[in-house]
Amino acid sequence: MEEFEVYIIFSSLWNRFYIGQTNNFEERIIRHNKGQVKSTKNGIPLELVDKFEVSSRTEAVTLERKIKKRGAKRFLEDNNIEFGA
């Protein structure tokens, strides 16, 4: 079974979080920081805040939506995840 990761990255240039999900995090974060992802290319460099492993694409999409609905900053606070933004 393929594992997926939901991730939160931060752009200090924009002072904004970006939430995404992938089955290949290492490749995806490289693409983000090379400016190859349309939605984040103008906000580089991007810093990893946290990532969460899940066992399916369905779980990844569900968690990604939950974080986006709650807001990344609030989600981090609610789960006692510290980030200096």
Domain membership flag for residue 83:
no
Q: What is the pLDDT of residue 2?
A: 83
**The predicted structure's pLDDT at residue 82:** 84
Q: What is the DSSP string of 6-63?
A: EEEEEETTTTEEEEEEES-HHHHHHHHHTT-STTTGGG-SEEEEEEEEESSHHHHHHH
Section 10-22 average pLDDT: 96
The pTM of the whole model exceeds 0.85: yes
Residue 84, in any domain of the structure: no
pLDDT tens digits along 22-81: 999 999 999 999 999 999 999 999 999 999 999 999 999 999 999 999 999 999 999 998
State yes or no: pLDDT of 5 exceeds 90. Answer: yes
> Is residue 19 in a domain?
yes
Instruction: Name the residue range of residue 25's domain.
Output: 4-78
